[in-house]
Amino acid sequence: MAQRDFFVGMTLALAALAAPAALWAEDTITSYAITTFGDPPKLPADFKHYDYVNPDAPKGGEMSEATYGTFDQFNPYTVKGTAAALSSIGYESMMEGTADEVGTLYCLLCQSLEYPKDKAWVIFTLRPNITFSDGSPMTAADVAFTTGLFRDQGLVSFQAVLTKFLDKVEVIDPTHVKYTFKPDSPPRDRIQIVGGLSVMSKAWFEKTGARLDETRMDPGPGSGPYMLDRFDSNQRVIYKRNPNWWGKDLPNNVGRYNFDRLRIEYFGDPTAAFEGFKSGAYLFRNENSSKNWATGYDFPAIQKGWVVKAELPNGNIANNQAFVFNLRRDKFQDPRVREAIGLMFNFEWSNATLFYNLYARINSFWENSTLAATGLPSPEELALLEPLKDKLPPGVLDQPPVMAPVSGPRQMDRGNLRKASDLLDQAGWAVGSDGMRRNAKGETLKVEFLEQDNAFDRVINPFVENLRKLGVDAVLQHVDDAQYVRRSRSHDFDIITDQFPTGEEPGSGLIQYFGSQGVNDAFNSMGLADPAVDALIEKVMQAGSKAELTIAVKALDRVLRATQFRVPEWYKNKDTVAYFDLYAHPQTLPPYALGEMDFWWYDAAKADALKAAGAIR
């Protein structure tokens, strides 16, 4: 069946759709879903629920987890202050993806979307009877108003994305909103960008005078399954399921959002948080400490069988966690300095000595996927790279992609020490009589690792020791959460630990993390402003097929790795979780989400047994 015929067939299947005839153009596509490259969606128009959920999952109980640090507001869309955990949980968007499919969005707030083949515009038809948590109806005016908020008051990098794509948004009537896109914007992701925007209440913003770029303690009404119940500042936040949630019977939501409450407990540091779990202060933990996982799970609740310890598959691309250089610092402008510092982190020793061999090294920005660049560039990759040759780092065109250095079994690898020493010598950082390296101005090569907790000390301290043997005046600086947020967001740091999520079908989000437009924003923490990277991001966004996308991403991966603005860390392709034995999940989990707050559920009988045994309160 041809693509157009497929979507026409889906349109005919949607007998419930009631878009006014005047809105329908003769040569447009109308559907309940959209895919990146026009392939048929996995789910049919009349799907009953997502494939990976338990449609009969019981409702009730509470999911409780932990975080550490502090919070001082409930607006997740501003860089000011620190938003409480799950602050955006009350909001929904026009469309949403699933946890077992790449590149497809299904209607959520909309019941259909209509667009021409060139995606010059899109009209969303809202579902009937959508209400916010305060009981007020949602209309197309709320959709258009929220788009304006993101365009005018959103994060600078996202404003750049939206401005690049969107020409105008129009309210046709209370249930129809139209987006018209700029002709020179890449067409592939136009609809997905606006379809993924959260929708908020116009009336509430106008009544309160709230802004998207300012802090506030009231998240405002949303249309989603949960709403803020109560909070104790810097101690806990509790969200409750909206008893009047408009969307509870939608096929998208069957078997999901099964808990009556979601509770997040705040702790001062990771050690305190782990102790809190052992005492039953919260009941679900996704363990990110290899030491805890290997040696810490021998407490009484484990021994008595009250706590389940499990390793569950995770098919996501690696999180791209890394030590990140602040390229705004003069001392990091020379890539030889960055490469030399990276040589002093011994992953192999760390994995064996500190991580109990639970991890693998991150190399690619698309690690754990078929998008990672390998070997020499293909002819198709070279066709994208060669026009940029004057802007590319050395080796991109004629060498395999940059790999993280490999070290020996001792903390200090002597071979890497010699390589790093040669690089710093070449970069003009000579060793002085005191063993410290200085440039021609007499300035010491000082490097500060900025951290907000002690959990990473056992990893960073050996790194610091190795650097000092190289002649680098390296230090580990601890600051409290408020200082960390302030300094990292104002780019007042040398090196921090950060993550760079990418995705199986990356698009405009790459601008926020790696594009020059986001150089002063929160996501582009390293301050990367590279014309070759910008050009390749454009190629990724313009890709018209999966094959073209793969070629463009691999080319971009090569350049990002060659810039060496990070020292890549580690990942594992499984979730290591522990939870008190009152939670259940579908037998087969989807590849792209653990989903404990989404499609897991509460087993009341098991909970009663644990309470009777004194395991939980």
Q: Do the beta carbons of residue 88 and residue 73 sit within 8 Å?
A: no
- For residue 223 the two structure tokens come to 């249309």
Rounded CA separation 140/94 (Å): 11
- The answer to whether residue 16 scores a pLDDT higher than 80 is no
Provide, rounded to the nearest whole percent, the portion of the chain with pLDDT above 90: 91
pLDDT digits (tens, 9 = 90+) for 255-274: 999 999 999 999 999 999 99
Rounded CA separation 526/508 (Å): 18
Which DSSP string corresponds to 17-41? ----GGG--TTEEEESEEETTSPPP
What's the average model confidence in pLDDT over 98-107? 97
Least confident of 170-174, 452-456, 587-591: 452-456
- Would you give the end-to-end CA distance of the chain in angstroms? 58
The reported pLDDT for the residue numbered 85 is 97
The reported pLDDT for the residue numbered 453 is 81
What's the average model confidence in pLDDT over 450-470? 94
- The answer to whether residue 124 scores a pLDDT higher than 90 is yes
Rounded CA separation 10/314 (Å): 32
The reported pLDDT for the residue numbered 518 is 82
Beta-carbon contacts of residue 174 (< 8 Å; ≥ 6 apart): 126, 139, 140, 141
Spatial CA neighbour of 333 closest among 475, 428, 451, 421: 428
The reported pLDDT for the residue numbered 15 is 31
- The answer to whether residue 19 scores a pLDDT higher than 50 is no
Give, in order, the Cα–Cα distances in Å from 571 to each of 357, 361, 451, 455, 500.
11, 6, 20, 17, 13
The confidence band for 10, taking pLDDT boundaries of 50, 70 and 90, is very low
The confidence band for 5, taking pLDDT boundaries of 50, 70 and 90, is very low
Beta-carbon contacts of residue 323 (< 8 Å; ≥ 6 apart): 345, 449, 463, 495, 496, 497, 566, 567, 569
Structural domains of the chain ordered from first start: 3-208 (3.40.190.10), 327-571 (3.10.105.10)
Residue with tokens 């040669």: 422
- The answer to whether residue 454 scores a pLDDT higher than 90 is no
What's the average model confidence in pLDDT over 122-149? 98
- The answer to whether residue 214 scores a pLDDT higher than 70 is yes
The reported pLDDT for the residue numbered 315 is 92
Q: Do the beta carbons of residue 511 and residue 518 sit within 8 Å?
A: yes
Rounded CA separation 231/179 (Å): 38
Rounded CA separation 526/519 (Å): 8
In Å, the largest CA–CA distance within the chain is: 83
- For residue 324 the two structure tokens come to 């990140």
The confidence band for 20, taking pLDDT boundaries of 50, 70 and 90, is very low
pLDDT digits (tens, 9 = 90+) for 31-87: 999 999 999 999 999 999 999 999 999 999 999 999 988 999 999 999 899 999 999
- The answer to whether residue 152 scores a pLDDT higher than 60 is yes
- For residue 570 the two structure tokens come to 């580690």
Type of residue numbered 429: W
Cα dihedral 470/471/476/477 (nearest 10): -160
Spatial CA neighbour of 607 closest among 587, 585, 588, 580: 580
Paired with 570 in beta bridges are 361
pLDDT digits (tens, 9 = 90+) for 299-348: 999 999 999 999 999 999 999 999 999 999 999 999 999 999 999 999 99
Spatial CA neighbour of 359 closest among 577, 569, 594: 569
Spatial CA neighbour of 175 closest among 234, 98, 109: 109
- Helix (H) or strand (E) segment spanning residue 181: strand 176-181
Alpha helices in 279-378 (DSSP H): 290-291, 300-303, 335-343, 347-353
- Helix (H) or strand (E) segment spanning residue 125: strand 121-126
The reported pLDDT for the residue numbered 26 is 59
Say what angle helices 140-153 and 156-165 make with each other, to 10 degrees.
Answer: 120
- Helix (H) or strand (E) segment spanning residue 463: helix 457-470
Residue with tokens 């987006």: 179
Q: What are phi and psi of 557, to 5 degrees?
A: -60, -45
Paired with 521 in beta bridges are none
- The answer to whether residue 23 scores a pLDDT higher than 60 is no
